[in-house]
Amino acid sequence: MIPVTCFVDQKVAVLGLGRSGLATARALLAGGAVPVVWDDSAEAREAAQAEGFEISDLGRNGAFDGVAALITSPGIPHLYPEPNRVIAAALKAGVPVDNDIGLFFRSFANDDWDGFDTTPRVIAVTGSNGKSTTTALIHHILEVAGRPCQMAGNIGRGVLDIDPGIDGEVIVLELSSYQTELARSLTPDIAVFTNLSPDHLDRHHGMGGYFAAKRRLFAEGGPDRAVIGVDEVEGQFLAGQMAEGPQDDRVIRISSGQKLEGFGWSVFVRKGFLSEWRKGRQVASIDLRAIAGLPGAHNHQNACAAYAAVRSLGIGPKVIEQALRSFGGLPHRSQLVGERDGVRFVNDSKATNVDSAAKALQAFARIRWIAGGMGKEGGIKGLVPYLGAVAKAYLIGHSARDFALELGDTPYELCETMAVAVERAAAEAEAGDVVLLAPAAASFDQYPNFEKRGDDFCACVKVSLGG
C-alpha cells in the first residue's frame, strides 16, 4: 500500500467503493487522514462498513462541511454528459476533486528514497488502443531484464494498492482518459501515447475533449521522456508540442508503417522489422514477423512503444528482443486460444470499437469473423475497407442485423449467440483460416464486460476442439 500522507487529521470524502475506491480509503487511513465514504450501491457500502469506514451520504446538504477533498472513482462523470450529483455538490462547495492517480503521484516518493542508489521510476501509458498490451509488455521486458517492477492502474492492481517503491524499481501504469482527465498531479518519468481513435466521446464531449484528457499526462507533469505514436495527426501535434525541434531526443516518435529517419530518436516498424534510429542512423533492428504473441500492425506499434520506453531506461536491444519473443500476450487481446487442422482460434474480445477491430482484421490473411454485440454510434461502416480478408462473418448479439446491412458483399450468417457462431465458423473453416472474435461492439447486451465475452468464446472453442 502507498500511504497518502498529505491529509493528516483532515476529513477526506471518497466517492465510489469499487477496487480503486476501497484502496484509496485504505491508503488515506494509513496516511493519517479521516476518510468518509459513499457509494450508491448498498452492497458496496456494507463492504466498506465491514472494514470500519465511516459511511456518509455525500449527496445530503452540508455533506462537504469540513471536508478537505473529494476523491472520486474514474468511472463517475464529473463534467460530461453531466456531473454526478455528489461531484456537483463538491464543486459548488469549492472542495477540490481528485482521483487515486493524483494521490499516487503526490504520495509515491518517501524519505526512504534518500538512501537509494537508483531512484524509482514511473512509466505511464495512455492512448485509445494497445494500452494494456503495451503496459504488460513493458512490465515483461523489465522482468526479463531483472529489474524490480510493479504494474498497476487500469490493469492489475489499483495504484495505491501496490507496494512502496524499492531501490531501482520501475512502476508501469496503464492510464485511461477517465484517470488522466481528473488527476491533480501527473508526474511520470516516462509518458507513452500509443494512438488516438474515437471512444468515450459522450464522457469527453467529443474528440477534442478526449484528446485533451490524454494530453494532460504530458502537459501537466513534463515527463523526462515522451514516447509518442505519430500515426495520427493528434500524435504528430503532441510530439511537436513536447519537442524543441526534430533532433530533441527527449521525444521518441514511434510508428507502425512510417519511416522516421529525420529525428533525434525514433522507433518504427516497416514490413515486420522494428528499427531504432538515433541522430540519423539505425542502431538496432528486430524481426517481429515470427513473434506469435505480437501479431499484426497494431501489436507492432505496441512493440515500438514498449521498446522505446525501456530503451529510455538503458535496457539493451538484445535483452528486449529476448523478452519480445517470450511474451505470451494478454487475454482477450489477439490471444491464440486453440488450433486444429491448421485452423487457429483467436480471442480479441477487447476489440470493442471500429478502430481496434480494423487492426485485428488486418493481422490475418483469411478470417472467419465473429462480430456483434451492443453496436456503437456509426455501426461498422468504417470497417468496409478492411473486410478483404474476411471469408465470412458470423454475427451475434443485439446489433447483428444492423451489422449485416453494412457488410456489403461479404458473406455472413446471423448466429445470435457465441456458441452458434463458434460452432458454425469451426465447421466451415479450412486449413490456414483464423476464427477471429473481434466484436467491434460493446458486450453489455449479452455479457457484463468484454472479459466475460472472451471467456465464453474460449469455452466455446474448447467445446469445438473436443476439450
Which residues make up each annotated binding site? 127-133
Dihedral angle computed from the Cα positions of residues 173, 174, 178 and 184, in that order, rounded to the nearest 10 degrees? 20
Q: CA of 127: how far to CAs of 163, 178, 184, 310, in Å? A: 26, 11, 19, 18
- How far is the CA of 48 from the CAs of 14, 18, 74, in angstroms? 11, 10, 18
Output the known binding site for ATP: 127-133
Range 220-259 burial, b when 16+ CB lie within 10 A, else e: bbebebbbbbbbbebbeebbeebbeeeeeeebbbbbbeee
Q: What span, in angstroms and rounded, lies between the C-alpha atoms of 302 and 409?
A: 32
Q: How far apart are CA 71 and CA 95, in angstroms?
A: 10
Rounded to whole angstroms, the Cα distance separating 247 from 264 reads 4
Q: What's phi and psi for 459, nearest 5 deg? A: -65, -40
Torsion (CA) 337, 441, 199, 292 in degrees, nearest 10: 20
**Dihedral sign for Cα atoms in the order 29, 31, 33, 36:** negative
H-helix segments, 145-206:
177-182, 201-204
Within 10 angstroms of residue 164's Cβ, the number of other Cβ atoms is 16
Helices within 118-270 (DSSP H only): 131-144, 177-182, 201-204, 207-219, 233-242
- Give counts: helices (H), strands (E), the chain: 15, 20
The three cell numbers locating residue 229? 505514436
H helix or E strand, kind and range, residue 190: strand 190-193
Element (DSSP H or E) covering residue 246: none
Distance (Å, whole) CA 70 – CA 43? 21
* Other CB atoms within 10 Å distance of the CB of residue 159: 31
Q: Count other Cβ atoms within 10 Å, centred on residue 425.
A: 29
Note whether 254 and 192 are within 8 A (CB).
Answer: no
